[in-house]
Every structure is written in C-alpha cells, then in structure tokens.
Structure 1
Amino acid sequence: MTVKNLLEVFGTWKAEEKPLVVASVFETAGSTYSKTGAHMLINGDGEFSGMLSGGCLEGDLAEHAKIALSSGIPRVVTYDLGDNENELWGLGVGCDGLMHIFLLPIYVEKGYEPFKAIADGLGGDKTLVSITVIESDIDDLPIGTSMVVVDEKLTFSNVDVQFEKEISEIIGSVAVNQKSQTSDFGVGHEHARLLCSVLKPPPSILVLGGGLDAAPVVRFAAELGWKVTLQDHRPAYIEAGDFDKAEKILCVPVDNLSEAVDLNCYAGAIVMSHHLDNDRKYLHQLSQSCVGYIGLLGPLARRQRILQELGEVGRELETRLHGPAGLDIGGRGPASIALSIIAEMHKNLMCESDS
C-alpha cells in the first residue's frame, strides 16, 4: 500500500464519516516487516489500509482497534513475532522480531486530527514531522496528544502551549536527522515518551521519452505510488503510448523542458528519447537542476560520447548520472529493463532518504 493509496482510502473513509484508528509502529527489535514510524489506518468495520506486518497481524490488530474506538482511549499492542506460544492463536509467524504498535482513535467530531493534518501535508511536496505522546505521567500532556509540522510550519497541535516550544525543538532535531524515532520528554520528575515520525510525500520522477519502452517505466513507478511526469516532443508518441498512469503528460520542444516545468521538483529522471541530440539536450538542462538520480538509457559508449560532447557540463553531471540505467538483473525486453531502471532508482532514492 503506497502513500497515495493510503491518502485515497482516508479521503473515502473521511467522506463516509467512519471512526478510524491510526496504527503506528514505535519500537521494534529483531526482524520485522515495518520499522519505527510506519503507519496504517483501520476503520470501525475492521477494514484496513496499509500493512505493518505483511498481512500476518493485521486481522488481530483490527480487533484491538475496535476496542480503542469503543473506549476512545489510545492503546499499545505488542507482538512477539518469535513467540511459539502464539502459534496457538495463529500468530506464531516465526520472524524472531518484536513490534510495539500505538493505536490512536480519531473521529469525525474532532476533524480526524492529527491524521488530517498529516494527509494534507503528504498531499503536497514537503516533508513533515508528526509527534504523538505514547507514554506520559505528565498531567497536562496526556497520551495521544499530537503536533504536526510541515516544512517548519506548525499545522496542527493539541499540545498544551507550555510544552510547545520544547517539543518544537525536538521536532527540529528530528527533521534534521530525517529519521523516525522515539524521544524522551521530561518536566521535573514527570516523564513522557514521544513518537517522532518523519513522513515524506511520494517522489516525483520525470520520464523523458515516450517510446514503447517508456510505458512499463511509467506503470511500475505509478505502482509504487510515485508521481510520474512523461515528456515527449512528438505528439504521435504521446497518443500512441499507454501512459494512463502518468500524473502529468508534457509535449513541449526538447529545448523548452526547463521552461515548461521546475526540474528541481523532481527526485529522479530517466532520459530515454532514443535520439542522441535530444538526450544530450535533456541532460544539459538536468545538469542545471538538483535532480538526485539521472538515468540514461543506452550502452556505456553512448553515455561517454554524450558526456564528452557536453564538456564541462558533462563532467559536473557524471556523479549523478547512471548509464546504462538500471541494475544488472539480466533484463531483456521493455518490461524487465523497466524493472531494472525502477529498481535502481528506488535504491538510489530510498537509500539516500534513509541516510
């Protein structure tokens, strides 16, 4: 389940005014499907969107969610995935991991906060940090209290104003580290534990070339929930291609690409026009951007020729350029080559993100 899918389901359930539970992983040990900061939604009917365990625990988790909704009280559920005794209950999945999950009920009467603020933030292109109190013996900071900050701007808070400044400092530190974690918060002898989640919108990628081999690239990227822009200067290629999964389709002259879109909005780009001069022009424009991953279709000799023709621009571009694009998985044919390209892009974008 992608971020895009999760937001779509939330929109549907919100419109139906269903009571919901936000399930969040806040601590793990050993081998687990999800790590700290992972989320899923569960409604009052036991339906869920997203997965925290790959499908092993979600049914049981839905039962705990119903209890949280009926009581209105957040709760913690712990799963020992290596506990053989749980096999009696159908939960002995044998992963030898431990997972602690926080269940936060949210209701239409309270505007579905804080998840509405999270959803609104993820609908844009900014990274956000959400803070949720998961343990507390501080009277004025109850369990379930939350803050959401999008691009350093506070978009939701039901935290007592006396604590906002100090918790905002924690948010700032988490935003710099770009890693979900739990943090301790103390007032005198009283203590609280905070789940600090770093949430990022789906990456936007640019596919430059609308040949037949571009269709599976667009399709696989969209399956991951990425926002795909397809560009080709030839209207016939656009019309003939299967690009329904692209969020945006451009048909502008090659030289005008950087004028038609803000290239800095894209995390990755794949250059695959199958035309030497056009590929060179695309790369020249991409070199002026901060696009982190740039893939170039074609053999190594072709890449070297283009870089040589680009001169100084080519030398500056070389550290970001992946060509031949794609992981070496023995791909043959459009689908397998597209798989290798998307896999390499995913590795580059996600590893960079996690670091």
Structure 2
Amino acid sequence: MSIRRTVQRFAEWRQHGDVLVLATVYETMGSTYSKAGHRSLIAANGDYQGLVSGGCLEGDLAERASRIRETRQAAAITYDLRDEADDLWGLGVGCNGLIRVFLQPLVPEQDYEPFAAIARRLMGTERAAVATVIEPGGSPLALGSTLIRTADSSESWDLDAAGAERLAGGCDEALRSGDSRYVDDDSGAGILYSVLAPVPRLLVLGAGPDAVPLVRMAAEVGWLVTVADHRPAYIDRGGFEAAERVATIDPPALGREIDLETFDAVIVMSHHLATDRTYLAQLATIGAGYVGVLGPPARKARLLEEVGAVGEKLRPRLKGPVGLDIGADSPESIAVSILAELQAGRSGAVAESPAD
C-alpha cells in the first residue's frame, strides 16, 4: 500500500477525532516484508493502512494497538520469526526474519503529532529526516520524542533545545546517506533515524487513450500525477479521475503554467512531433530524475536533432523507448513497463530497458 494512500487515509480518520496508532518499523534482521523507517496507521476500529508485514502480523498489531489507545503509552514490540517453530506466536508465518515495531498513540489533543507533520513532509517536495526515541535508556530523552529536520529547518515534539541538538547530527547523516537506521548511543538510548522521501510526482504530457492506464496505475501505486495536453477534446474525453491535476495547456506555455522542477519523472507522449519537440526543449534543464519520450529510438534521435543545441543537455538522460523490455504490446502492458522502470529507478534497482 502506498505512502500516498496512508496519508489520505490519515486525513480521513483524523476527522473523527479518535485516537490513532502509528506503527513504525525500527529494526529488522533477516527476511522481512518491510524495513526500518516503514510506517503504517491503525484506526480505532482496528482497520489499518500500510502493511508492516504481508498481512500476517497486522491482526496482532491491531490488538496491541487497542491497548496503546487505552493507555496512551507508546510501546516497542519484537516479532522474532526466524525459528522454524514460529507457531509459538500462533502465527506460523515462516518469514524467517525479526522485526521490531514501535507503537505510538496519535491523539487529537496534540493534533495527531508527530505524524501530522510527517504527512505534511511526505506530501511536500523536500526530503526530510526524522529522529524517534524508541528507548530512552539512561538519557533524559522522553519515549517517543521526535525531531524532524530538513537541510534548513527543524521541528520537534517532547524535546528541549539540548535534546533537539543531540538528535540533529543523526538526522543530518540520514539526509546525507539516504539510509534509515536504528542506533544505540552511549547512554543506552535507542533512536531511529529515518528518511522521509516525498510522494513521487509524475508529469504525463499527452492525454491520448494510451495515457489513461498509465495515469490510473501510477496513481494506484502512489504517484501524484499531472496530465497536460493542448487538445481540449482529449482532456474532455475523461479517464483521468485518478490524476491530481488535469490541464489544457498550449505547449509553448508549459513551463509557465506548470512548475516543472517539482516532478520526479516526465513522460512525453503526445504522439505529435512538433508538440513533443516543444515539450523537450523546455525539459532539457529540469532536475527530474527521469525524462522519457514514447516511440522508437529513431524518433527520439530525430527529436533531439530538431530541438537543436538545447537537446544536447537532454541527450545523455532522455529515455526512449520508455519502459522495461517485457514485450509490452497494449496500452495497459506499456503502462506496466513504464511504471516498473520508474520504480526500479527510485529504488536503485538494476532493470533491463529496451535497447536505444
């Protein structure tokens, strides 16, 4: 389940004024479904959004969360499933891993902090790091106290100035490395330092029929999608209800109408050479990690040549054909191939694309 869906569900649940529980994975060993820094939410009725496991631990977590809501006291839980005899838990899941989870009450009197701030960061555009005190040990830090830090700002809960300063270095290191880790410091305090990567944003330039499944599937897996096209008939035909924004824009005005620097990926798919050329000229210098154009290698080469000198800035990183080589031969399977390539790029996985 996507981070975007978790944030959306949080916005819905908090309207009821009930105590929620935030479940945060803070340490794992062996084979586990999620890793340190993964978060899910548990509602007052036991419903949950976001999976800590593949569904095998969620029932037990929901029961434990009910006690967290009653006591309003955070607690850490360890599930050690490395033993073949993990029926000891009554679960028999056979995952062969250890997972430690921190359960933390989110109360309306505190405006559901610190998760409300975490949600705001996730829906923003700037990376942040979070320090969460899981075990105070012999330190003056309070259980569950939290620091959220970006490159130029900080906000904290249940921390004095000295406590925030103490956690700032670990947050800065997490921002530099991009890794989440659980640390035991010299005083015995156990602290999770985790990275908040904003929900990814995708810009689809072209609203033809083949864009419909791409937009729908991208939204389903958690991307915030914007669709733009210069042809009102294409926009008016519909099919883009899952998009965050749908706009009719004259191609030369794209950079004025849309902040291109806010996107992690851009797919150019208007199927119109002159329009694609106009788009690519404006995309040459943006910082998006992925820029792709639909069509065969020869089409990409022609577009880059026609764009002229500005195209040289785009040439080394323009993808075309787009998507992984899975034998895609329909709008739906092409959408799958594109999303698989986007996901591989975000996770740093090595994937095979069609030859340029």
149-158 vs 213-222, greater mean Cα deviation: 149-158
1:93-116 Cα deviation digits (max 9, x unpaired):
122111111111222222222112
Q: Write the distance in 2 (CA, Å) between the matches of 1:214 and 1:114.
A: 37
State the one-letter code of the partner of 2:113: E
Query: What percentage of residue pairs aligned between the two structures are identical?
Result: 44
82-91 vs 69-78, greater mean Cα deviation: 82-91
Q: How does 1:1-355 map to 2 (within 5 A)?
A: 1-87=1-87, 89-138=89-138, 140-186=140-186, 190-351=187-348
Native 8 Å contact 1:121 1:150 kept in 2: no
Native 8 Å contact 1:207 1:214 kept in 2: yes
1:7-54 Cα deviation digits (max 9, x unpaired):
122122211111121111111111111001000111233221110101
Count of residues in correspondence between the two structures: 349
Q: Write the distance in 2 (CA, Å) between the matches of 1:85 and 1:70.
A: 32
Shift of 1:191: 2.6
1:138-186 Cα deviation digits (max 9, x unpaired):
3521221112224532233311322222211221121111221123334
1:245-303 Cα deviation digits (max 9, x unpaired):
11111211111111111111111000111111211111111002112101111111111
1:293-314 Cα deviation digits (max 9, x unpaired):
0111111111122222234333
- Normalising by structure 2, we get a TM-score of 0.93
Any idea what SS the aligned residue of 1:191 has?
coil
Any idea what SS the aligned residue of 1:246 has?
coil
Native 8 Å contact 1:298 1:323 kept in 2: yes
State the one-letter code of the partner of 2:255: S
230-239 vs 250-259, greater mean Cα deviation: 250-259
Q: 1:244 to 1:43 in 2, by over 3 A?
A: closer
Q: 1:107 to 1:241 in 2, by over 3 A?
A: closer
Q: Write the distance in 1 (CA, Å) between the matches of 2:348 and 2:19.
A: 35
Q: Write the distance in 2 (CA, Å) between the matches of 1:276 and 1:13.
A: 47
Q: What do you get for the CA RMSD once the two structures are aligned?
A: 1.7
Q: Write the distance in 2 (CA, Å) between the matches of 1:247 and 1:163.
A: 39
Q: Which runs of 5+ in 2 are unaligned?
A: 350-356
Native 8 Å contact 2:21 2:104 kept in 1: yes
Q: Write the distance in 2 (CA, Å) between the matches of 1:42 and 1:77.
A: 15
Q: Write the distance in 2 (CA, Å) between the matches of 1:297 and 1:14.
A: 42
